[in-house]
Every structure is written in C-alpha cells, then in structure tokens.
C-alpha cells in the first residue's frame, strides 16, 4: 500500500477541530492529504453561525498542538487562562476554588478561531487540499473509497486513498459505514438535558463584567450554568436544563421569574432584554454520548474525535480527547513505521478503554453535578482533594486534576480515584473509631473532674427551681 518512500494518500472526512488538526499531523509527515468538509469554509462564511462559542482547553489538547507547532499561537497568545472555578450561590455569594498550582489552569479558546487557525495551518502545506461543501455520503471503507456529493449538484464522485480518517463528529457518516462491519459494537445515549448559549456583554468601559480568569459555575441541582471568557471581554454562558424545563419557560415573564429565582446575579449582567431576545431566538440543543468499538476497518479506515467517542460536555474533555487521538495516532505511525494495519489495530485496542473511560467520567459528572452539588460533602471533598494534593503533589492527584492537568490514561484516572476512595473510606472508619476511643479514654481519665462539674451544674440548676 505504501507509495513513493512510505508516503501514503489520506482522505479526511470532516474539517472540524479534529479533522483540521489531523490534516496538520499527516501533512507534517509528508503524506498526501485531501480533506472534505460538508459546510462552507468558516474562514470566508458570510455570517458566522451563532455567537462566539468557546471551549476549555487543557494539557492533552495543548500537547497535541505543540507537536504541530501551534500551541504558542493558539493557547498562550490567544487563550484566556482560567485559574480557578468560581462557584456562584443563589444568594449571590461566590467562592473561588483554585485548580491547583499557579501553572495549573485551563484555557478558554474560541472555537471558530481555533478551527480557522488549524485549517490555515493545514493548507500551508503544498501536500494538503481542502474541499468545502463536499459531503461524504457513502463508500467502501475496506477499499479506502468514499463517495462525495458536491453541494448544489446531485453528482457524486468517488475518492480513493490508502487511508480514510473519519473526523466527522458525533453523527459521523464514516461511522455509519463502520456499522456494517460484523462484530462492530455501538451504543448511544441522549440525556434529558439540552443546552443553550447566552451572552454576557462587556461593561460600558469595555472590560469584563465578571472576574476574568475563572470558569464561572452556577450549580443548581437539575439546572446548571457556566460562563467562559472571550477575547472581546464578553462571556459565553451555557445553560444546561431538561428539555421539559426549556419548554415550560414559554413567556418572557416566566423566563425572567426563573432567572431571578435561580440566577439573580446573572440577570443584570446578561441584561433582561438581551436574555429574553437570545433565549427566544434560539432552541436548546441535544447532548449525546456515543461509544463504539473498534475504530478501524482493516488497514484502510479509522474514526477519531467525536465520531469515535462523543461525550456529554460535563468534563470539558471532548476536544481534548479528540486532539489526544491525533497525537496518539501520530506516535503509532512512527512506532509502526507507517504500517497502517498495525497502527490502526493498536489505535483501536489502546484507545478504546480510555475513550470509554472519559465518556463514563463525563456522564458521571453530569449525574454528580445534578444530584450531589447540594450536599456539603461534595465541596468538602473537592477542598480536601486540593489540600491533600498541595501536601503531596505527586502522591494524591484528585480526579479532576488527573483528567485535566496530566497525561495519565483516562482509564487509569478512574483507577486512581477508586484507590483514593478506598483510602478515604478506610481512614473515615479509622478516624471515627479513634475518636470514640479517644473520647472514652479522656472521660475515663477525668471521671472525678467530670463528676465535679456535673454536680456543681445540678446544684446551680437547683437555684432556679
């Protein structure tokens, strides 16, 4: 299959974040890349879809960007560091809990900007061709063939390559072809929550309306809201809520009552008029979680990113995991000297447990944030974890930190957490046992004194009768 000195031809389906990054990786190796994206080129699109939407980027995505030389430009120069979460209570109280050391922060990066820079970087290579408004509609993946339909024409063309990369997102067409394979496992789950994006504009002075270097979170049990900062000093606010609840807020008055009740401090920041306008101009979007296995077909096709493992966004790891896919696949191409069969097989085997782990962690966070945030023990655990991490930075790594600030395999992050839970449970038993023992010992030792105090208390109580 290999042509002219180990160089192969690659078809990438999808020019989103992961597809565009994957094009950079293959271009860097000198392979011939053709990328097909179904939408128009976002860099020249006449009207941008929606407002500026941003994503939380952490070390996994940054490590992948560093390999293709884009980490500096994209993250350190453009991203806005968020060094702590800022928890907003209903009474307007806010509490900041740092993510860790001063270097441990996540970056808020604009999705459109990120996608534009990645596409431009890919296109700089003479061996990369980008085709927009080209939709993959079918094909024979075992032969490396896909069928592409050009927008506006009913004509289809067949494109053949050594390798097809499916980076076409949660509703992947490439994955639909994989499903025809025997022994292909697949499951998808829609959650009952949808999401809607709102906006907090900059202050009149042009400054951020809230403290900038935080991920703002309004946990309210069944509804949650977060805000990430944008370059233009606005905030993108994302409201997560059951579809039923979205439906019940069907008049401006009901909407304002709801917000004034649950998010009183956010109402003046968004502005009542803007809140009503943005809310009723948009529809809540669904959230889906997808697991499947394997990710490849023979030696000629593979799915990566959301196509392979779409997850609910409650860990802020979807893009990070997708970029890590590109990074891992690149390392496997080196390890197996461009032998596609071996690289694809190992990618499926190695990556699947980790992809499913992060899907599970994201879903678990969704459940935990809904059900546990009102328990004081929840924040207590977060604080304890931070404290123990500060005491023993290499020994006690909290789950959120291992996922967000380390390169530990996602499946190991879960193992690490299980081990910590065990230690904590045992020390809880030990502590309560030791406390009871301690109190008893003190009581025994001081029985005379206690008796004295007791009798004098009874005596003085007598004065009142």
In the complex, which residues of this chain contact ligand FAD (CB under 6 A)? 13-19, 36-39, 55-56, 135-136, 167-169, 173, 195, 238, 305-307, 313, 316-320, 322
Q: Of the two residues 45 and 96, which places its CB atom closer to ligand EGO in the complex?
A: 96
The span of 141-149, 295-303, 353-361, 365-373 binding ligand EGO (CB under 6 A) equals 365-373
Q: Are 401 and 389 in contact (CB under 8 A)?
A: yes
Q: From CA 298, how far away is CA 340, in angstroms rounded?
A: 9
Q: What is the DSSP string of 351-370?
A: HHHHHHHHHHHHHHHHHHHH
Residues 233-272 binding ligand EGO (CB under 6 A) are 240
For residues 369 and 371, what is the distance between their CA atoms, to the nearest angstrom?
Answer: 6
Does residue 405 belong to the site contacting ligand EGO (CB under 6 A)?
no
**Residue 173 binds ligand EGO (CB under 6 A):** no
Task: Find the Cα–Cα–Cα–Cα dihedral 310, 312, 316, 318, rounded to 10°.
Answer: 0
Q: Is 224 in the site for ligand EGO (CB under 6 A)?
A: yes
In the list ligand EGO, ligand FAD, none, the entry touching 87 (Cβ below 5 to 8 angstroms by class) is ligand EGO
**Measured distance CA(107)–CA(179) in Å, rounded:** 36
Restricting to residues 203-222, which ones interact with ligand EGO according to CB under 6 A?
215, 217, 219
Are the C-beta atoms of residues 59 and 404 closer than 8 Å to each other? yes
Partner whose binding site includes residue 408, from ligand EGO, ligand FAD, none (CB under 5 to 8 Å by kind): none
396 binds ligand EGO per the rule CB under 6 A: no
Minimum distance from residue 47 beta carbon to ligand FAD (Å): 16
Query: C-beta of 425: minimal distance to ligand FAD in Å?
Result: 32
Contact partner, 262, from ligand FAD, ligand EGO, none, Cβ < 5-8 Å per class: none
CB of 317 to ligand FAD, least distance (A): 5
> Binding ligand EGO by CB under 6 A: which of 54, 230, 365, 420?
365
**Which one among 178, 308, 326, 369 touches ligand EGO, defined by CB under 6 A?**
369
Give me the count of residues in the chain: 465
- Residue 9 CA to residue 28 CA, distance in Å, equals 13
In this structure, are residues 370 and 221 in contact, taking their beta carbons and an 8 Å threshold?
yes
Chain centroid to CA 112: 17
Provide φ and ψ at 136, rounded to 5°.
-75, 125
Locus of tokens 């860990």: 315
Q: Is 85 in the site for ligand EGO (CB under 6 A)?
A: yes
3-state secondary structure of 219: strand
In 3D space, the residue among 57, 55, 41, 59 whose CA is nearest the CA of residue 122 turns out to be 41
Binding to ligand EGO by residue 87, rule CB under 6 A?
yes
Closest CB to ligand FAD among residues 2, 192: 192
Residue 311 is a binding residue for ligand EGO (CB under 6 A): no
Residues 24-43 that bind ligand EGO (CB under 6 A): none
Rounding to the nearest 10 degrees, give the CA dihedral for residues 353, 241, 211, 264: -160
Q: Which helix (H) or strand (E) holds 108?
A: strand 106-110
Q: Does 315 interact with ligand EGO (rule: CB under 6 A)?
A: yes
The CB-nearest residue to ligand FAD is 16
Q: How far is the CB of 450 from ligand FAD (least distance, A)?
A: 58
The two tokens of residue 70 are 């884009």
Partners of 166 in the β-ladder: 13, 303
Q: State in angstroms the smallest separation of the CB of 268 from ligand FAD.
A: 25
Cα–Cα dist 123/128, whole Å: 6
| Residue that the structure tokens 């031809």 belong to | 9
Residues 55-74 interacting with ligand EGO (rule: CB under 6 A): 56
Tell me if 359 contacts ligand EGO by CB under 6 A: no
Least CB distance from residue 69 to ligand EGO, whole Å? 25
Q: Which two tokens stand for residue 309?
A: 């493992």
Per CB under 6 A, residues contacting ligand EGO are 56, 85, 87, 106, 215, 217, 219, 224, 226, 240, 313-316, 365, 369, 373, 400
């Amino acid at each position: 299959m290999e042509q002219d000195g180990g160089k192969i031809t690659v078809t990438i389906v999808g020019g989103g974040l992961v597809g565009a990054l994957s094009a950079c990786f293959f271009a860097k190796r000198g392979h011939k890349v053709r990328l097909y994206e179904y939408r128009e080129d976002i860099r020249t699109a006449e009207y941008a879809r929606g407002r500026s939407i941003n994503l939380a980027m952490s070390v996994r995505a940054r490590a992948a960007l560093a390999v293709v030389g884009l980490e500096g430009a994209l993250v350190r120069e453009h991203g806005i560091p968020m060094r702590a979460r800022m928890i907003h209570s209903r009474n307007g109280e806010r509490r900041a809990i740092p993510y860790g050391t001063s270097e441990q922060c996540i970056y808020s990066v604009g999705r459109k900007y990120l996608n534009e820079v990645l596409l431009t970087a890919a296109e700089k290579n003479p061996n990369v061709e980008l085709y927009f408004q080209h939709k993959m509609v079918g094909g024979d993946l075992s032969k490396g063939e896909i069928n592409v339909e050009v927008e506006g024409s009913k004509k289809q063309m067949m494109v053949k390559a050594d390798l097809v990369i499916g980076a076409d997102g949660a509703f992947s067409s490439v994955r639909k072809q994989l499903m025809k394979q025997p022994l292909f496992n697949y499951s998808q789950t829609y959650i009952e929550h949808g999401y809607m994006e709102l906006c907090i504009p900059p202050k009149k002075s042009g400054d951020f309306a809230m403290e900038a270097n935080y991920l703002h979170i309004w946990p309210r049990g069944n509804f949650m809201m977060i805000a990430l900062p944008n370059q233009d000093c606005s905030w993108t606010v994302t409201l997560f809520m059951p579809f039923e609840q979205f439906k019940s807020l069907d008049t401006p008055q009901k909407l304002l009552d709801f917000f004034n009740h649950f998010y009183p401090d956010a109402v003046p920041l968004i502005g009542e008029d803007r809140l009503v306008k943005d809310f009723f101009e948009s529809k809540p979007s669904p959230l889906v979680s997808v697991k499947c296995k394997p990710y490849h077909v023979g030696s000629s096709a593979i799915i990566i990113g959301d196509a392979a493992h779409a997850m609910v966004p409650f860990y802020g790891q979807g893009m990070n995991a997708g970029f890590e896919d590109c990074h891992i696949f690149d390392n496997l191409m080196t390890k197996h000297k461009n032998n596609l069969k071996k690289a694809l097989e190992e990618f499926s085997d190695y990556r699947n447990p980790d992809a499913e782990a992060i899907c599970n962690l994201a879903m678990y966070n969704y459940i935990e944030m809904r059900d546990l945030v009102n328990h004081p023990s929840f924040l207590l655990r977060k604080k304890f974890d931070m404290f123990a991490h500060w005491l023993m930075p290499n020994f006690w790594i909290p789950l959120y930190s291992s996922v967000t600030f380390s390169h530990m395999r996602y499946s190991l992050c879960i193992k690490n957490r299980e081990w910590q839970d065990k230690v904590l449970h045992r020390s809880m038993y030990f502590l309560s046992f030791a406390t009871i023992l301690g109190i008893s010992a003190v009581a025994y030792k001081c029985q005379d004194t206690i008796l004295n105090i007791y009798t004098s208390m009874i005596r003085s109580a007598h004065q009142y009768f």
